Amino acid sequence: MPLQKGARPAGRTDSSSFILNCSWSHIKQDSFSFSVLLSSSGAFSEVVMAREKATGKMVAIKCIPKKALKGKETSIENEIAVLRKIKHENIVALEDIYESSNHLYLIMQLVSGGELFDRIVEKGFYTEMDASRLIRQVLDAVNYLHSMGIVHRDLKPENLLYFSPHDDSKIMISDFGLSKMEGTGGVMATACGTPGYVAPEVLAQKPYSKAVDCWSIGVIAYILLCGYPPFYDENDSKLFEQILKADYEFDAPYWDDISDSAKDFISCLMEKDPEKRFTCDQALQHPWIAGDTALCKNIHESVSRQMRKNFAKSKWRVSVRLRFSQLFNITKEKNTIFYYFLFLGGKKSHGVVCLSPEICLGYSCLITTSLHSKPLTPPL
């Protein structure tokens, strides 16, 4: 009998855990077939790529053991509440929720194109105009959130993902664990976010509003145009001091080929005073976004060099993706590639393949490229 939304199946045990006591048996046979472990965050959750049997649609399923929610109930309930409320083409969608006696399953839209900076580094040609288009999508999505009374509070490159591996893929905002609905006063006070992207008023422990998201977008735009962060120091107190003072510069020679319009756009978002800081709506009307002031000169070499230096995850991860992309194009045999990935370190456990993040990303990109046109399942 299929597990219903919110249902608690009786007489079944969680015997099919494979990494952190996450059980997939409750929904595996009924609704989904599983393929690859996409991510695991310690004892809190796992995300697995799966195919919905009824439709052939590929999804990402986030499994959360309820015992891991002790003390974190508010966080996950908040994420679910936020995701249920929003629907935007540039925001990862929550499609369904299942529940067992011991686990919570979030059925999420599958996003397989990889992280923002990784894709930029892999490009051969990259311009201000490309950066402008990326930021426009982020602004449009965040403006939508703000219109719904939602503040993301943790915008950063790691939470900006490409929908698919295709060159013209749209960008998607993910991870709403720190998002919050604005109260009637429109201000919040809880300190949260990622240090390099957090607004001065948050560090100053002052009440803050949705303007914190606009600051973060400014920081991301800054990095997209030069490849390094506007604030950096290995000493956290000095880093925070820089942010509190909004002490950043457009350093030569890295900014010599960047337009004054781009610099003005960033300055409007990275304004220390949140009352003077541009809103998303204002930023969307800036000439660098809405006009034609973004330059078309190729800045890939300088930007990618700095990104590798400052944000490199693993050169090997990129090489794995490229190598297996070549393999895929040559053989067209998904079974062969699947077993290559297993050979590189994958383990099958209860029908789910557990791979390292680097190998998993390559495999995910490969099969989803094909799956966007025709549902297929790797051999398990």
Q: What is the CATH number of the domain that holds 266?
A: 1.10.510.10
Q: What is the pLDDT of residues 159-192, one digit of tens each?
A: 899 999 898 999 999 876 534 444 434 443 343 4
Task: Judge if 196 and 90 occupy the same domain.
Answer: no
Q: Round to whole Å and give the CA distance between 281 and 59.
A: 32
What is the tally of structural domains in the chain? Answer: 3
Report the CATH number that the domain containing residue 31 is assigned in CATH: 3.30.200.20
Would you place residue 34 in the very low, low, confident or very high pLDDT band (cuts 50, 70, 90)?
Answer: low
Asked whether residue 3 is assigned to any structural domain, the reply reads: no
**Do 141 and 201 belong together in one domain?**
yes
Which of these three, 94, 109, 124, is where a domain ends?
109
Residues 85 and 179 in one domain: no
Is 272 in the same domain as 161?
A: yes
- Taking the CA atoms of residue 299, residue 304, residue 310 and residue 316 in that order, the dihedral angle to the nearest 10 degrees is 180
- Any idea which residues carry the catalytic annotation? 154
What's the mean per-residue pLDDT of the chain? 75
Rounded distance between C-alpha atoms, residue 90 and residue 70, angstroms: 31
How much of the chain, in percent, has pLDDT values that exceed 90?
35
Confidence class for position 365, pLDDT limits 50, 70, 90:
low
Domain shared by 121 and 32, yes or no: no
Do 85 and 124 belong together in one domain?
Answer: no
Q: Does residue 204 contact residue 244 with C-beta atoms inside 8 Å?
A: yes
Domain with 261 in it: 116-311
Same domain, 152 and 102: no
Does the pLDDT of residue 369 top 60, yes or no? no
pLDDT band at 364 (very low <50, low <70, confident <90, very high): low
73 and 193 assigned to the same domain: no
Higher pLDDT, 39 or 149: 149
Q: Please tell me whether residues 105 and 121 are part of one structural domain.
A: no
What does pTM read for this prediction? 0.72
pLDDT score of 7 more than 80: no
Structure tokens, 261: 């319009």
- Asked whether residue 257 falls in the same domain as residue 194, the answer is yes
Backbone angles phi, psi at 154, to 5 degrees: -145, 45
Same domain, 216 and 361: no
Supply the pLDDT for residue 16: 38
